[in-house]
Amino acid sequence: MRALEALAHERDPSARANLVIHALEGLKDLPPSVFEATGQQDPPLEEMLRALRQEARRLLRAEAIRSDTLTFANLVGALVLWHDRPAPAAVSDESLAPEIQELIRRQEDDGCWSVSLDSDDASGRVFATLRVVLALGRFHAAPGRHETTGEAGP
């Protein structure tokens, strides 16, 4: 996988976010045995996963991403995938609750989400709403999450 190599050259935050989203979602589908046989990989998958997760967390703080609800939701959703199953680089105390609360706060009066905070343009609302709902659903379905608050369960 050349995601880290591509990230080394890409400067646009949205493009970087899309690289991270697709790489994290692609890695999620790999069987655990692939992570165990990383001796031939350069960099090892565990190291790549850790770097991708760190970059995703960094991007979630970038203003260009924070103002783009669609990309913000997609990044949150990609990170939540790693709460769904054990992974060598998973950080068990990592909380996405603030980002989840931010997504909930952005819901509009009609129940939908706009693609961007910077626009009155209604195009893409259905897709943005779908992606936010998927991210919220992944988060609330993740093991150890309380069903209504998103907080870690007992």
Cβ count near 73 (within 10 Å): 26
Which has the closest alpha carbon to 96: 151, 19, 14, 58? 151
The structure tokens listed for 137 are: 């659903």
Buried b (16+ CB within 10 A) or exposed e, 7-36: beeeeebeebbebbbebbeebeeeeeeebe
Q: What pLDDT is stored for residue 92 in this prediction?
A: 39
User: Cβ of 121: how many Cβ atoms within 10 Å?
Assistant: 10
Quote the CA–CA distance of 49 and 67 in Å, as a whole number.
25
Pairwise CA distance, residues 95 & 44, whole Å: 25
Residue 49 confidence (pLDDT): 85
Helix (H), strand (E) counts: the chain: 8, 0
**Other CB atoms closer than 10 Å to residue 70's CB: what's the count?**
22
pLDDT value of residue 50: 86
Q: Which residues is 116 bridged to in the sheet?
A: 68
From CA 86, how far away is CA 92, in angstroms rounded?
9
Residuewise pLDDT in 10s, the chain (154 residues):
578 888 889 999 999 999 999 999 988 887 777 766 655 556 677 788 889 999 999 999 999 999 999 999 999 999 988 754 454 444 433 578 899 999 999 999 999 999 988 767 778 899 999 999 999 998 888 766 544 444 544 3
